[in-house]
Structure 1
C-alpha cells in the first residue's frame, strides 16, 4: 500500500509538472524555398537577397528545457528543521523529487550550490546517475562546520553566468529578503521562471533543550531564557510577523513559494507549489492579453 500511494502521489506531481512546464522551444534546422502558405515572418531576408529567391527558415521542435536547482549548502541548512530532522535531508528530498520529475519529462537538470564563501555549479545534463551526483553534492556540501549561509551569493552567480531562460528551483531556509536580495529576485524573475521552496527551522517555542545553539553564528541561548513563557510567546509572535512579511514579499514579486518542516510534508507541499505557480502564470497571461 505504501508503494502504491507513493507512485500515485508522484503520478499527480508528474501531471502537475507537465501541465506547468511543457518545455517547448524551436531550434533552427535549415533554409528552404518559400512555398505559398509559409509564414512571412519565417523568411530570411538576408539569405533571400543573396539567393535571389525567397527562402524561409525551417525549425525543429525541442521538448527539453533546463531546470537549474539553486541550493543553500551553508551551515544553516545543517541545522534542525521543525520536525527535528536535518534541514539538509529535507532539501535533498525536495531537489530529488523535482529533479526526477524533470528527468521523466526529458528535461536536463543542473545545480548551483554554496555558501557565503562561494558557489559551485554542475552543468545541466539528463539521466538518473547525473541527478544522483547532484544530490550527493548537496548532501556532502552541507555540514555544521561549513561556511555561513548566504543564498545571495548563489543568486549573484546565476545572474553572472546564466542568460538563457530556465526554470530556477531555489531551496533555502527561512530567508527574509532585504532590499538587495529583492532586486536580485526581480532580475532573476525577469530572466527565468523562479520557484522557491523553504525548509522551515525548528521553533524555539517547541523545544526544551538546555543551552540551545544558533547554528548561523554559534551563539548560545541559555535554557533559563528559552524556557521562559514570555520569551517563547514573544518569539512565536515575531516569527508569525516575519512569515507574513515573507509571504507578502513573494506575492509582490510574483514568485510561488512553498515550504515544509518535515519530510512527510514535501510531496503535498510540492503539489501545492506547482499548482500556485500554474495559477500565477495563467493570471499573468490573462493580464498581458488584456493589456494588449
Structure 2
C-alpha cells in the first residue's frame, strides 16, 4: 500500500529537521546575482553590464568605472521536473520512490521562507503540471500526485509480438518545462535516470539560458554493475524487449561494465555541455546525506 502524502511529508520533515536544519542555514541565499534590494559587492565595469548599475561615487574616486552587485530577493520560484517513465518504475520500488522522496524533500526545503514551488510530472502517456504555490498544502498536493499510479501508455501489438513501449522523449519533457516556466526565471530541479531517446541535450541547454537548472540523475546500482544472479531474463526498462542472459559469464559482465562506463561518460559530457549542475544519486544512498552534499555543492558553486 502506498504511503499517504501527509505521512510521507511528516516523515520527511522529521528527517529534514534532524539532518538539514542548521547545516544549510543561508545555503541558498539567492539563485544568482541580480538587481534586488541587498547590496553585496563592487566590481570593475565590463561592456556587458547595465550602465544603470554603475556606482558613480566610487567611479569618480578611483577614476575607473565600477558597478554595484546586489542579491536578488530571497523569494524565488522553484520547479520540480520529475521523470515518471517506465524505466523509473522498472523493477519495483526503487528509482521512482527515490525521486518522489527527493522531490518532496526539495519542495519542503525550498518552500520555507515563502518561496513558491511547482511541479511538472512527465511520462509519454501523460503530463501533469502543478502551478507554483506556497505553503504546506502545496507540498501535500505535489506528494499526492507523485504517489498516484503513473499512467500506462497504450501498447500496440505487431505481428503477434509482445506489445512494445516507446522510449521516453526527454527532449519533449524539457520543451514542456521551457514552455511552462517561460514567464519567470526560476530554479529548476530535474529528476530523471536520463534513459530515453537521444536529442535531449539541446532542449536542456536552452532551458538553462533563462533558468538555473540542477539535474539529478537517479541510478539503480545494478545499472552500473550487474550482480551475478545466474541465468535470468533481462527486460529493457523502456521498450519491454526481453533477453535471456547468463550474468555469471565474465565476458558478458566485462562487456556490460564497459558499456555502463561509456554511458556514464557520455551522460556526464552531455550534461556538462548543456551547462547544468549535475548530481548522481543511487537508490542505495542515504537520501538526506546526499541532499546535504548536493545543496552544499550548489552553495559553493554560487560564491
- TM-score, length basis structure 2: 0.69
Q: Trace 1:113-132 onto structure 2 (pairs within 5 A).
A: 113-132=121-140
- Counterpart of 1:11 (choices 21, 33, 40) is 21
- Counterpart of 2:103 (choices 74, 95, 98) is 95
- Counterpart of 1:252 (choices 273, 276, 286) is 273
> Which deviates further from its counterpart, 121-130 or 111-120?
111-120
What is the Cα deviation at residue 41 of structure 1?
5.3
- Counterpart of 2:145 (choices 133, 137, 145) is 137
Distance 1:99 1:268, change over 3 A: same
Q: Are residues 1:222 and 2:205 paired? A: no
What is the Cα deviation at residue 182 of structure 1?
1.6
What is the Cα deviation at residue 13 of structure 1?
5.8
What is the Cα deviation at residue 102 of structure 1?
0.9
> Which deviates further from its counterpart, 98-107 or 264-273?
264-273
Distance of 1:12 and 1:23 partners within structure 2:
24
The runs of 5 or more residues in structure 2 that have no matched partner are: 1-12, 38-50, 54-71, 155-164
The question of whether the paired residues in 1 share the 8 Å contact of 2:16 and 2:288 is answered with no
- Counterpart of 2:253 (choices 219, 223, 232) is 232
Distance of 1:169 and 1:24 partners within structure 2:
21
Distance of 1:177 and 1:149 partners within structure 2:
6
Task: Name the counterpart of 2:42.
Answer: none
Q: Are residues 1:73 and 2:87 paired? A: no
SS in 1 for 2:273: helix
SS in 2 for 1:157: helix
Q: Trace 1:253-292 onto structure 2 (pairs within 5 A).
A: 253-262=274-283, 264-282=285-303
Distance of 1:174 and 1:17 partners within structure 2:
27
- Counterpart of 2:172 (choices 153, 161, 164) is 153
Q: Are residues 1:243 and 2:253 paired? A: no
> Which deviates further from its counterpart, 152-161 or 85-94?
152-161
Distance 1:218 1:151, change over 3 A: same
The runs of 5 or more residues in structure 1 that have no matched partner are: 28-39, 43-60, 283-292
The question of whether the paired residues in 2 share the 8 Å contact of 1:75 and 1:145 is answered with no
Distance of 1:273 and 1:238 partners within structure 2:
27
The question of whether the paired residues in 2 share the 8 Å contact of 1:93 and 1:263 is answered with no
Greater helix share, structure number: 1
Distance 1:199 1:12, change over 3 A: farther
Cα deviation 1:161-212 (Å, max 9, x = unaligned) = 322100010000144884x322112211111000011110333622527313
Tell me the C-alpha RMSD between the 2 structures.
3.2
Q: Are residues 1:210 and 2:220 paired? A: no
Distance 1:22 1:259, change over 3 A: same
Distance 1:13 1:264, change over 3 A: farther
Distance of 2:227 and 2:141 partners within structure 1:
35
- Number of aligned residue pairs: 245
The question of whether the paired residues in 1 share the 8 Å contact of 2:76 and 2:115 is answered with yes
- TM-score, length basis structure 1: 0.72
The question of whether the paired residues in 2 share the 8 Å contact of 1:73 and 1:149 is answered with no
